[in-house]
Structure 1
Amino acid sequence: MSPIKRLSRAEVRSVDQRTIEEFGLPGVALMENAGRGVFELLLSLKVTGPVKICAGKGNNGGDGFVIARHLDNAGIPVQIFLLADPEHLTGDAAINYQVASRMGIPIQSDPVLSDPDALRTFLSDADWIVDAFLGTGVQGTIRPPFTTAIQIVNQAAGNKLAVDLPSGLDCDTGLSLGDCIIAAQTATFVAEKKGFAIPESKQFTGAVHVVDIGAPRQIITELLQKQTS
């Protein structure tokens, strides 16, 4: 099968929705596959830690919790900074937060980034920083507290890896939504995103790696046919 070229925001949503609703593969399994794939990429990059996961409240953050769990199981030092209230997490992200928490992985939570210096300190000794703040669904100008958090991450010395796409990058246009993570590596799911086609996106994504999450081949084949018809 020819690889799918790139996915738009709507196509990303369609792949996930059809996989869950038509094929019965739970979202938590897709999240597990995504997080495990990013973990394996980090291993291939010879990551030794400390790894600092920067998570938001959505599924992107949920992927971050899965990544943290696998790093911890591999004996690689990892900590999580959650830019959300844990009690506001829902669905698959909430499940994986609870697992990470019960494993004793250190988690700091500051929903409104009331103490920016705490995030700076958190990142100060990072070998790698994993950006799991925001996903493909984000549109419009990035707002606080993410604006400040993104700026702090970009100022930190550690290597940056973005989960699916850099937080603050528009999935479809490949342009910054105001403030955007500048990553050295991006682990993107299923296929590259539509916006990655424009040269301007590369300053934010760095090297792009496509991670398989187990979506059925039929869905990808149909998308490819639509893209080429």
Structure 2
Amino acid sequence: MKRDDVRRVDQIAIEDYGMLGLVLMENAGRGAAERIAALCQESPGGAAHPVCILCGPGNNGGDGYVIARHLELLGFSVHILSLVPLERLTGDASVNASIAAKAGLPLQVATSAEDLDRWITDDETVVDCLLGTGATGAPRGLYGDAVKLANKRRGLRVAIDLPTGLDCDTGIPSQPTFRADLTVTFVAEKEGFTKADAKPWLGTVRVVGIGVPQALLNDFAVA
């Protein structure tokens, strides 16, 4: 599935089928949380793994707030690290950040590389919800710093929809690119995942549905 197809699926589900973006995000986040929980439970330490969720400004970050809520419900110790002030969030991402804050989930806003170094620690599972399929080019500023630090840590790394820094369509990695042990991607594998350059960054790929009707999936040749 290409970048433009990803956008169209969401648009058609919302505009033509009357589905709410919040419902799609909830389905995506819950499914991703279940995949992350399974990965952690299969590794030493099981559900005792603490989880750090890195959240960016868009819907990929919004997925992260949903994931955090569901991982907490599954018994995990979770903390959220946002790279953008919450008041700058909009739409469904803003709604889910507000829910997470009201629910008392540990939530910090990083404003410097020093914040990232202090709050992304060894031996925890790091979940990349920084930049989604719409992003192009290398992650810059704090986003690049966060990817570099996460790649140096010893714990498991999970990318949501695709690793930050990896181009959705070409599969070409940037410098830096998040190196995932598991990539949880929504609706279908992305076009770039088939490219040889992408393979070292993806880890195991698992597809999670977001609840859109099969008739819509058929239009995009998704089984």
Report the 3-state secondary structure (helix = DSSP H, G, I; strand = E; otherwise coil) of the residue aligned with 1:199. coil
Q: TM-score, structure 2 length as denominator? A: 0.93
1:200 partner letter: D
CA contact (8 A) 1:51 1:126 kept: no
Moved over 6 A (4+): none
Once the two structures are superposed, what CA deviation does each residue of 1:175-226 show, in whole Å capped at 9, x if it has no partner? 113311000000000000000011211111111000011111111111119x
| AA matched with 1:122 | W
Question: What is the total number of aligned residue pairs between the two structures?
Answer: 216
Matched, 1:87 2:80: no
- What is the Cα deviation at residue 63 of structure 1? 0.4
Match of 1:8 among 2, 7, 29: 2
Structure 1 position 179 matched with structure 2 position 173: no
What corresponds to 1:206 in structure 2?
203
Structure 2 counterpart of 1:133, which letter? Answer: L
Match of 1:146 among 132, 135, 143: 143
User: Structure 2: which amino acid aligns with 1:172?
Assistant: D
1:53–1:132 contact (8 Å) kept in structure 2: yes
Determine helix, strand or coil for the equivalent of 1:192: coil
Contact 2:137 2:165 in 1 (8 A): no
RMSD of aligned residue pairs (Cα, Å) = 1.3
CA drift of 1:126 comes to: 4.2
Distance 2:137 2:65 in 1: 26
Aligned amino acid, residue 17 of structure 1: Q
Q: Secondary structure at the match of 1:200?
A: coil
Q: Which runs of 5+ in 1 are unaligned?
A: 1-6
Measure the CA separation in 2 of the matches of 1:125 and 1:140.
28
Distance 2:137 2:165 in 1: 9
Structure possessing the higher relative contact order (Cα contacts under 8 Å, 6 or more residues apart): 1
Counterpart amino acid of 2:180?
A
For structure 2, the 5+ residue unaligned runs are: none
- Are the aligned partners of 1:50 and 1:125 in contact in 2 as well (CA < 8 Å)? no
Which deviates more from structure 2 when the two are superposed, residues 141-150 or residues 118-127? 118-127
CA distance in 2, matches of 1:126, 1:25: 39
Identity of aligned residues (%): 44
Q: How big is the shift at 1:120?
A: 2.0
